[in-house]
Amino acid sequence: MMKNLTRVSLAVSASASALLLFGCMVTPVPYAGEPVATVYAPVAPPAPYVEVQPAIPYVGAVWVGGFWNWAGGRYAWVPGRYERSRPGYRWEAPRWNRDARGWQRQGGGWQRQGGGGWRR
């Protein structure tokens, strides 16, 4: 009888632990870095975070620094990351410029060397 109670207790504890762990899962914010539409914000972006660039993970990796994105009525930091280099393209960091309509995010994507055009 005591062995059965211990087994049931262990099974319940294991199930409860598994449920708690699944409840703690963190999902990343989707990346929306390359332009698909013009982005305007009514206020200036905060100062950029100072990011520590980790060691290069593989040969040919390109560091893409973080930036402030405007989404859902507020600024959200998109952290820096490494991406594979793309022959014939260079990374252009996004920038915020003020105009009559507010603050507009410009740039931010892989720019064709020697010409225009975005590559996703």
User: If you average pLDDT over residues 21-32, what whole number do you get?
Assistant: 38
pLDDT of residue 26: 34
Q: Comparing 6 with 66, which gets the higher pLDDT?
A: 66
pLDDT at 91 over 80: yes
What is the rounded CA–CA span in Å between residue 15 and residue 82? 38
Which tokens go with 98? 């003020």
For the segment 51-76, the average pLDDT, to the nearest whole number, is 94
* pLDDT mean across residues, the chain: 77
The residue-averaged pLDDT of 79-86 equals: 94
With a cut of 50, say whether residue 10 has pLDDT above it: yes
Residue 100 has pLDDT above 70, yes or no: yes
Global confidence as pTM: 0.61
Specify the pLDDT at position 97: 95
Cβ-based burial of 70 (10 A; exposed 0-12, middle 13-18, buried ≥19): buried
